[in-house]
Amino acid sequence: MKFAQLHPIQDVCILVTDVEASIRFYTQKLGFELKHRAPGFADFIGAGLTLALWERSHIESHTDVRVPVGSASAVLVAVRVDSPADIDVLYADLEKDGVTFVNPPADYPWNARCLYFRGPDGETWELYAWLDGGAPGRVAA
């Protein structure tokens, strides 16, 4: 078996510019619960996996991994919800909490109702639910 089939993704780490601003965003606007906090780093308990934040300057100084500012915009964190109606409920709830959206919820050609917003460093979030018929393009095993 290949690596990806044996080792499930346990967490997603977003490399951020300001870890304090990101902690406020993820706790106050999205409701994540802080699990660990260390200099330049935080992670959260979420449904299904751990979300971690690592400040760019911290990772650079400790590992020499260099991440240009703005490159987090290439990160998309996707969250599947049970039904298209849940997308609209989440939109209303998150909007009340001050989340700014790319667009209101919409149905897309890939047979999903989706909602998009960005975190403090430009990381993109997608909330989605499959429409009737489910995910298109399933590849036979």
Question: Do residues 120 and 18 touch, judged by C-beta distance below 8 A?
Answer: yes
Which range marks the domain in which residue 22 is found? 3-130
Residue 139: inside a domain, yes or no? no
C-alpha to C-alpha distance for 40 and 94, rounded to whole angstroms: 26
Residue 94: inside a domain, yes or no? yes
Q: Total structural domains in the chain?
A: 1
Residue 140: inside a domain, yes or no? no
Say which CATH number the domain at 84 has.
3.10.180.10
For position 49, what pLDDT does the model report? Answer: 83
Residue 21: inside a domain, yes or no? yes
Walk across the sheet containing 33-38 and list its strands: 11-16, 50-55, 41-45, 33-38
Residues of the chain with pLDDT under 50: none
Global pTM reads 0.75
Residue 135: inside a domain, yes or no? no
Residue 112: inside a domain, yes or no? yes
Would the CA dihedral through 80, 98, 102, 121 be positive or negative?
Answer: negative
